[in-house]
Chain A
Amino acid sequence: MASEEQSRMAQSIRMHLAMETEDVLGRISMDEAPQAMGYFYRKLRQFFQQPEGLGHFDKPGIGTFCAQVPLELIEAAGARPVRLCMAAGIWDQAGGELLPAKSCSVVKAMAGMAASQLFFSGVCAVVAPTTCDGKKKCADLIETMGIAVHRLEMPPSKLSRAARNYWRESVETFMAQLQGWTKQKITRKSLHTAIHRRLMATEQFRRLCRLQTKGVLRAVDYFLVTQTGFFDDVEAWTLALSDLCAELEARVAEGRGIEKQNRPRMLLTGSPVLFPNIKVPLWIEQAGGPIVTDELCSATDMFHDAPAYDETCLHDMVSALCDRYLSPCVCACLSPNPDRIRKMISLCRQARVDGVVYQTFSGCLSYAMERNAVAKALADEKLPLLYIETDAGFEDQGQLSTRIDAFIESVQAKRRNF
């Protein structure tokens, strides 16, 4: 009986999800869209509307939380990583029944996703780094639903020797668990190949970022690209990405699309932009401020870094991966977290940013708490900051888009005065 009710609920959530995706994608005007974006729209539609399609991938899926899971290890063990951080309004609602209303949208949405059993058909287990409290408790909850969960224990800091050793051991435990799940050994060769694939992806992603600073790609499109990277096969994604870059480069060569360069250039930071919740970038761009760069764990923080090693032995490659996923991490769950501000300032300078939009989901305390330190550092750089607190869903459109409009207008006015 219970299971019948469950499946009915799952059915209804699925319908709502399909509608929500369509609604969001429908808000994106297709006039300006590069042709190569078609791949990403298609993939997202397929992923959110026929999630059982995931099961058709020939490799077992391993769900991941956050951006600290060494994806290369999963791939080297013969599986396929799927980052489960997604923030659909309907999941948020469903998760609200399971977690306190004050928890952040992402965490609730992930709980809701698990409860509606979507995506889990193709995902045989979940890896949850012990980042913020919300994610940790969400992992606990998911485990009670009968899903295999491995906790990738993360140190609370990344600067000390103890933290490094702890992390290394934790990653090694994770490797053993992975091999147990997939019954496939991670070898020198398989890991080397996996690292290389991700390296190529990183190279293309950085190429896209360079174009992004020229303002030729709409921020929504940019975030759809990164979101597709959460679940897509890395080689296919890289290829589509390089097509997109080539098309955009051609546009730049023709001088098309770069007129936006002279609009107020924005950096977006704070809680991640997770599909289908792309409203903030959407409104920022509609207000006329191209997002030229970002400091978000769903975009640059996830795809920008690349490991290096000298000798190609398993030990050194794993060691390089450990560093790749912990050392440059600027997640607000770390204490202390000096690199986040350093990184943001460096990005602002490199991309000649005019203003920063800082979004947090209500309930996302770590990011909300770092706001003042960030605001102070930005003020020292004479950069204005707009702080937005929001959640999944489009209910706050009226209020938020007015504030965003006003902010961009003021940044623009300030630019003119210079």
Chain B
Amino acid sequence: MRKLREMLDKADINQFRFWTQIFFFALFIYGGWWALNWSERLPVFACAFVQDRCGSCYLLGLQHQMTAPVSRMFSLAGLGILTGFLTFLIWFVLLNKAWCGYACPLGTLQDWITKIRSGIGVRRSQYSETGFKRLKRIKYALLILLILIPLAIGNTIFGSGLSHEFEIPFCMICPGRTVLPIFNADFSQLMIDFSTSTKMILTALGMAVTGGFFVGAFVKKRFFCLFCPMSALQYLLSRLSVLRLVKDGGKCTRCNNCVQVCDVGIRQIAENMEKGDILQDDCMLCLKCVAACPENDCLQLKFLNIPVFRSTDTGFFCRMEKKERGI
């Protein structure tokens, strides 16, 4: 048991994450080859437009369900919505936001782009602290819109019902739809649909977002995640999860190492000395901060209250030495 603890303390979390991400990427993009089908309610962008996927993103189903008239939602259809949500919740509760850091194929893709960037020696750019705070709100707006717009189809919100072309508004602009099928050699989503003007606008927007996705991910780490409505939904529910990131403020020296290594630049992790549950909006539970914290047990990842990974002095130096050898 002590051996295991020691091994975990010294674990190279970045490497572990790298391989886990590859595993999930393969699963979500090629899992269909092995006739795997997990669920249609996954809390990640396992995009439904990918032919050989093994599961798909909850947001697609949610948007579909929202197109029903409100009156129907309180009948049998409501049950469908509820079970859909509960399935999603069960998946989510298991891994919390680690879905973002370890499983989401779109997130993985961004991390690979980051690897290319740092590999060729281009330095990252960062948001100013105030800019960051403002941008954070966008994803909540998107979340609300992706529920409201479909609702306007089955219900008369704007006088008459909205066209069915708005059925899955978020998917139309999501880079998951355009980019991920490429890995199945399917380029069909990479185009602008001129059949109707609505479709044209939506697909054109989708293409623009896709371009922004690549450029953004090259300049900034996890650029797209800042706008991701799935991330917003997850954060709203993160309190329910059995996987928690906890901090013991009494042990923190405010060395700021955690902020330095955080891909999304979360300051609270160092600055908040009171809060035990330190998981923040935009955090993806990548655990880099835990790995970079040199104070014993200051930061911990707990599953059902059992520490799975914790910050240690020895682990910190072990990892930093490995880094030195890496250069």
Return chain A residues, CB-CB under 8 Å to B327: 189, 192, 312
Return chain B residues, CB-CB under 8 Å to A196: 320-321, 324
Chain A interface size range? 20 to 34
What 1/0 flags go to A288-324 for Cβ under 8 Å of B? 0000000000000000111111111101100110011
Q: Is the CB of A346 within 8 A of B251?
A: yes
Does B184 lie at the interface of the complex (its beta carbon under 8 Å from any beta carbon of A)? no
Does A342 lie at the interface of the complex (its beta carbon under 8 Å from any beta carbon of B)? yes
Interchain CA distance A313-B119 in the complex, whole Å:
10
Q: Is the CB of B129 within 8 A of A161?
A: yes
Does B317 lie at the interface of the complex (its beta carbon under 8 Å from any beta carbon of A)? yes
Return chain A residues, CB-CB under 8 Å to B254: 327-328, 339
Task: Identify whether the interface residues of A are mostly helix, strand, loop, or mixed.
Answer: helix
Q: Is the CB of A307 within 8 A of B257?
A: yes
Which of B260, B263, B313 contacts A308 (CB under 8 A)? B260
Residue of A whose beta carbon sits closest to that of B253: A328
Given A199-B317, A199-B320, A345-B250, A309 contacting B261 (CB threshold 8 A):
yes
Residue of B whose beta carbon sits closest to that of A193: B324
Interchain CA distance A320-B255 in the complex, whole Å:
9
Interchain CA distance A310-B262 in the complex, whole Å:
8
**In the complex, how many residue pairs between chain A and chain B have their CB atoms under 8 Å apart?**
83
Q: Is the CB of A327 within 8 A of B255?
A: yes
Does B259 lie at the interface of the complex (its beta carbon under 8 Å from any beta carbon of A)? yes
Does B102 lie at the interface of the complex (its beta carbon under 8 Å from any beta carbon of A)? no
CB distance from B156 to the nearest CB of A (A): 48
Q: Is the CB of B313 within 8 A of A305?
A: no
Given A327-B254, A327-B270, A309 contacting B260 (CB threshold 8 A):
yes
**Which of B123, B254, B288, B321 has the most chain A CB atoms inside 10 A of its CB?**
B254
Q: Is the CB of A327 within 8 A of B273?
A: no
Q: Is the CB of A311 within 8 A of B317?
A: no
Residue of A whose beta carbon sits closest to that of B119: A311
Q: Is the CB of A311 within 8 A of B124?
A: yes
Q: Is the CB of A342 within 8 A of B273?
A: yes
Interchain CA distance A199-B255 in the complex, whole Å:
14
Does B163 lie at the interface of the complex (its beta carbon under 8 Å from any beta carbon of A)? no
Interchain CA distance A192-B254 in the complex, whole Å:
22
Name A5-28 residues within 8 Å CB distance of B.
none
Does B316 lie at the interface of the complex (its beta carbon under 8 Å from any beta carbon of A)? yes
What 1/0 flags go to B215-256 for Cβ under 8 Å of A? 000000000000000000000000000000000011101111
Return chain B residues, CB-CB under 8 Å to A202: 317
Name A167-215 residues within 8 Å CB distance of B.
189, 192, 196, 199-200, 202-203, 206
What 1/0 flags go to B102-125 for Cβ under 8 Å of A? 000000000000000010010110
Return chain A residues, CB-CB under 8 Å to B269: none
Does B154 lie at the interface of the complex (its beta carbon under 8 Å from any beta carbon of A)? no
Which of A192, A203, A304, A308 contacts B257 (CB under 8 A)? A308
Does A137 lie at the interface of the complex (its beta carbon under 8 Å from any beta carbon of B)? no
Return chain B residues, CB-CB under 8 Å to A312: 323, 327
Residue of B whose beta carbon sits closest to that of A311: B118
Does B292 lie at the interface of the complex (its beta carbon under 8 Å from any beta carbon of A)? yes
Interchain CA distance A349-B250 in the complex, whole Å:
10
Does A343 lie at the interface of the complex (its beta carbon under 8 Å from any beta carbon of B)? yes
Interchain CA distance A253-B96 in the complex, whole Å:
44
Return chain A residues, CB-CB under 8 Å to B129: 161
Q: Is the CB of A342 within 8 A of B250?
A: yes
Q: Is the CB of A203 within 8 A of B317?
A: yes
Does B294 lie at the interface of the complex (its beta carbon under 8 Å from any beta carbon of A)? yes
Return chain B residues, CB-CB under 8 Å to A327: 254-256, 270
Return chain A residues, CB-CB under 8 Å to B253: 304-305, 328, 339, 343
Q: Is the CB of A306 within 8 A of B294?
A: yes
Residue of B whose beta carbon sits closest to that of A210: B313
What 1/0 flags go to A142-175 for Cβ under 8 Å of B? 0000000000000000010100000000000000
Interchain CA distance A313-B320 in the complex, whole Å:
15
Return chain B residues, CB-CB under 8 Å to A311: 118, 123-124
Q: Is the CB of B123 within 8 A of A306?
A: no
Residue of A whose beta carbon sits closest to that of B318: A203
CB distance from B6 to the nearest CB of A (A): 16
Return chain A residues, CB-CB under 8 Å to B251: 346
CB distance from A408 to the nearest CB of B (A): 27
Residue of B whose beta carbon sits closest to that of A327: B256
What 1/0 flags go to B291-327 for Cβ under 8 Å of A? 0101000000000000000000100110011011001
Q: Is the CB of A316 within 8 A of B260?
A: yes
Q: Is the CB of A313 within 8 A of B257?
A: no
Return chain B residues, CB-CB under 8 Å to A310: 260-261, 263, 288, 292
Q: Is the CB of B259 within 8 A of A192?
A: no
CB distance from B80 to the nearest CB of A (A): 44
CB distance from B34 to the nearest CB of A (A): 35
Residue of A whose beta carbon sits closest to that of B326: A312
Interchain CA distance A238-B272 in the complex, whole Å:
34
Return chain A residues, CB-CB under 8 Å to B317: 199, 202-203, 306
Return chain A residues, CB-CB under 8 Å to B256: 323-324, 327-328
Which of B257, B313, B316, B320 contacts A323 (CB under 8 A)? B257
Task: Spell out B's residues near A (CB within 8 Å).
Answer: 118, 121, 123-124, 129, 249-251, 253-257, 259-261, 263, 270-271, 273, 288, 292, 294, 313, 316-317, 320-321, 323-324, 327
In order of increasing CB-CB distance, the 7 nearest A-B pairs are A308-B257, A323-B256, A308-B292, A327-B256, A310-B261, A328-B253, A328-B255
Told that A199-B321, A306-B320 touch, could you supply 13 new A-B pairs with CB distance under 8 A?
A192-B327, A196-B321, A199-B317, A305-B294, A306-B255, A307-B257, A307-B260, A308-B257, A310-B263, A311-B123, A313-B118, A328-B255, A342-B273
Return 18 A-B CB contacts under 8 Å, by A number. Answer: A189-B327, A192-B324, A192-B327, A199-B317, A200-B321, A305-B255, A306-B255, A310-B260, A310-B288, A311-B123, A313-B123, A316-B260, A320-B257, A320-B260, A324-B255, A339-B253, A343-B253, A345-B250
Task: Spell out A's residues near B (CB within 8 Å).
Answer: 159, 161, 189, 192, 196, 199-200, 202-203, 206, 304-313, 315-316, 319-320, 323-324, 327-328, 339, 342-343, 345-346, 349
